[in-house]
Amino acid sequence: MREQPHILIVDDEPTSRDTMEGLLYKEDYHLTFAPNVSAALDQLSQIEPDVILMDVMMPVIDGFEACRRIKNNKQWQHIPLILVTALNSKEDIVRGLDAGADEFLSKPVNGLELRARVRSMLRIKRQYDELAKMLRLREDMASMIVHDLRVPLTSILGFSELLLIEKNFDDQQRSDLERIHQQSQRMHSFVNDLLILAKAECDQFILNRSTVDITQLVQDIEQDHRIIAQSKKVKLVVQVPNQPQEVALDKNLFHRVLDNLVSNALKFSPSHSKVTVRLEPGPSNGSGNHVRIKILDEGPGVPPEHRHRIFNKFEVVTLKQQTVSQIGLGLAFCKMVMEAHGGEIWVEDNIPTGSAFILQL
């Protein structure tokens, strides 16, 4: 936060603005004034105050609506906002809280109360700024580490591929080499997922759409995972229509979504069970082709109370501590890619046992 805290005062009455200025002038704050909500929103696009003092009773757009707009804006929602109002009924207080107000002040404003509440909000803003700075530092370090991991992983993948070309290995050695190569590919995919998540959070997530035969894409996934399924003694079944199903999507990203989900299903499937990848028509609304892909396994499943949490990257550690299966950053990646395509992903029960991860485009 700046050394001199910045307070934005929004009030349509000049006398009220002068009163606020008189009560705060000894506090060494930088004060900015706006005569209405439109002017305040214009200023918010150029400055970032540390606290907003917002009058409620204003023409055209009142303080409640202004508060709602500010708190619904990702860029501004962290700024503490104090509603200043002559209204004092419980209904008005509830309305303000529902709009997102952080504090209230009653008119006529008491100087001691005003200064105390502003100081309180400044403490909250300072704590937020320090936390945001720490999180940015951690994310920058994590991004740097992930970038640095790509170089040795690429070398491992390249040399393992060269070794697999050689013919002077016995069956056990070749099996070990294939396992090294497969696990290196998994780690490389995981690193790429982390990089894409970071780009998406920085609004650098760009889809390279093309017309893709999703039937062929699903069949390619079966080829990619056949050996892993055989090694785990899991039957991998792909069910697709006879006709091509063309969809406009980012082929590489969507391929990795399917790869994540099928890998996950195989990982948590017991021996002699079955994993099914099923492509079927999705619900039609007359705006083009819609498809639905189901990845069905016969593993432990995901409890209903955790199904809305497994796609949230911030829940991963907590859910792992609770021994919830089939979770990880890969699912957060899948959700992000599906939403970028305007699609959905969710999980249901696979009857009689297991999970059904469903993609809908």
Whole-number Å distance between alpha carbons of 159 and 192: 20
d(Cα 70, Cα 206) in Å, to the nearest integer?
A: 27
Question: At residue 168, does pLDDT exceed 60?
Answer: yes
Highest mean pLDDT: which range of 196-210, 288-302, 314-328? 288-302
The alpha carbon of residue 98 and the mean position of all alpha carbons in its chain are separated, in whole angstroms, by 24
Position 148 confidence tier, pLDDT thresholds 50, 70, 90: confident
Angle at 273 between CA 271 and CA 277, to 5 degrees: 125
Q: Which residues contact 79 (CB under 8 A, 6 or more apart)?
A: 48, 49, 50, 51, 52, 70, 125
Predicted pLDDT at 289:
63
Would you state the pLDDT for residue 134?
84
- Which domains, and CATH codes, for the chain? 6-109 (3.40.50.2300), 136-201 (1.10.287), 209-360 (3.30.565.10)
Residue 326: left if φ>0, alpha if ψ -120 to 50, beta else—which one?
Answer: left
Contact 216, 277 (CB under 8 A): no
Confidence of residue 199 (pLDDT cuts 50, 70, 90): low
Q: What distance in Å separates the CA atoms of residue 194 and residue 200, rounded to the nearest whole number?
A: 10
Full-model pTM: 0.54
3-state secondary structure the chain: CCCCCEEEEECCCHHHHHHHHHHHHHHCCEEEEECCHHHHHHHHCCCCCCEEEEECCCCCCCHHHHHHHHHCCCCCCCCCEEEEECCCCHHHHHHHHHHCCCEEEECCCCHHHHHHHHHHHHHHHHHHHHHHHHHHHHHHHHHHHHHHHHHHHHHHHHHHHHHHHCCCCCHHHHHHHHHHHHHHHHHHHHHHHHHHHHHHHCCCCCCCEEEEEHHHHHHHHHHHHHHHHHHCCCEEEEECCCCCCEEEEEHHHHHHHHHHHHHHHHHCCCCCCEEEEEEEECCCCCCCCCEEEEEECCCCCCCHHHCCCCCCHHHHHHHHHCCCCCCCHHHHHHHHHHHHCCCEEEEEECCCCCEEEEEEC
Phi/psi for 277 (5° steps) reads: -115, 115
The residue type found at 360 is Q
Query: 166 vs 152, 160, 306, CA distance in Å?
Result: 22, 10, 47
Mean pLDDT of the chain: 85
The tens digit of pLDDT for each residue in 302-359 reads 888 878 888 876 555 455 555 555 555 678 888 888 988 899 999 999 988 899 999 9
pLDDT of 1 over the 50 cut: no
Q: Interior CA angle at 337 toward 288 and 152, to 5°?
A: 140
Q: What is the pLDDT of residues 64-113, one digit of tens each?
A: 999 999 999 988 999 999 999 887 777 888 888 888 899 988 888 899 99
What is the rounded CA–CA span in Å between residue 4 and residue 24? Answer: 13
